[in-house]
Amino acid sequence: MAHLMDQVPADKPLLDLSQGAPNFPTAPEIAARVGEVALEADGGAYTQQLGLPKLRSAFCDDLKLAYGGDIQVGDIGITAGCNQAFAVVASALAEPGDEIILTLPYYFNHDMWLGLDGIKAVYLDPGPVVVPSVADARLLITEKTRALVLVTPGNPTGQTLSPELLNDFADLAIESGIVLIVDETYRSYVPGNEAPHQLFSRPEWRNNVISLHSFSKDFAIPGYRVGAIVGQPELLSECAKLIDCIAICPSRLGQEAVVAGLTQATKWKTDKVANIAAKQKKFEEVMSTKPGGFELLAAGAFYGWVRHGRTESSNSVAKRLLLEQGILAIPGEHFGPVDPGCLRFSFANADVERLDELTDRLAGLS
């Protein structure tokens, strides 16, 4: 919708709720370390395909603190962002003609990669309740199924799946002889102080569970492209071959930035997570009255999944929201094979004070 931006009403300054990325700079400690690395003799050199040993070690410590369980450095591979993590894992697990189950609404890059790689995406549709069902997933598994993908907290929904449900899906993976892929890009934004799940405490987790991670949101460095795979070493070895062909290795500068973040910027990260949580609370308060008939179905991390309640397409509603009310949101048609009648709002991209503007603007849509 970039070509429409100059048509936003002059009396309604743009309220950009589209991009799921931090709207603040990274931590000073991270910026300082990046400057130091750039001047080091090997600051621009390649690293190992699976990442700097010191980053793998620091992230291993971070995961153990957050989850407990049995996680070793050899279970961790660093990638050029979580998108690359998913791509190489999917390509390592499946061949053209195989099937991988995606939960609707899906993260669109997952679906696009499977299509590009000749892997059939099979859709698990939980409907407006947003939370997928193990029983429904079981019905979709065939001899061609290689994996089932869950994103929690979700993109685009923000929905956080309970540890109990994730455990049940892991049981299903074992029962069916497939792999459960859990994309945890937003795991730092899971509410409360409990571990997002206990999957790493299962004695057999390496056989059937792969966890994907991103440092983009945690440290406000999406352009640095650093993510991670947590899985069995044999899988990581196959992923390393793919990484070598795609990017050779993750960015050294990005990896050094994450090491600094994990070891020096924990207080900064905690404060930023609290800031995003405050935005979510305000967003939920604003949407509780269903302004203009817009109904919040789920929220969490950076996102709110909102049913617009109109007979027209979500793309049409999103276009009119921009042109009539100056609100930029993403149509739900981008997150599934059919229009779910919803929009994705990224409240994390707005100043918390401006979220109050949603009430009158949504109510004012013709």
| Token digits of residue 113 | 């990669």
pTM of the model: 0.94
Q: What does each of the 366 residues of the chain score in pLDDT, given as a tens digit?
A: 556 666 766 678 899 999 888 888 999 999 999 999 999 989 899 999 999 999 999 999 999 999 999 999 999 999 999 999 999 999 999 999 999 999 999 999 999 999 999 999 999 999 999 999 999 999 999 999 999 999 999 999 999 999 999 999 999 999 999 999 999 999 999 988 889 999 999 999 999 999 999 999 999 999 999 999 999 999 999 999 999 999 999 999 999 999 999 999 999 999 999 999 999 999 999 999 999 999 999 999 999 999 999 999 999 999 999 999 999 999 999 999 999 999 999 999 888 899 999 999 999 998
For the CA atoms of the chain, what is the radius of gyration?
Answer: 21
The pLDDT of residue 21: 85
What is the C-alpha to C-alpha distance for residues 358 and 320, in angstroms, rounded to an integer? 14
The pLDDT of residue 5: 63
- Strands 145-151 and 179-183 come out as parallel
The domains of the chain, with CATH numbers, are 2-25+268-363 (3.90.1150.10), 28-264 (3.40.640.10)
Burial of residue 213, with CB atoms counted within 10 A of its CB: 0-12 exposed, 13-18 middle, 19 or more buried: buried
What is the C-alpha to C-alpha distance for residues 310 and 116, in angstroms, rounded to an integer? 33
Phi, psi of 47 (to 5 degrees): -115, 180
Phi, psi of 310 (to 5 degrees): -110, 160
Phi, psi of 77 (to 5 degrees): -125, 135
What is the C-alpha to C-alpha distance for residues 168 and 99, in angstroms, rounded to an integer? 21
Question: One-letter amino acid identity for 351?
Answer: D
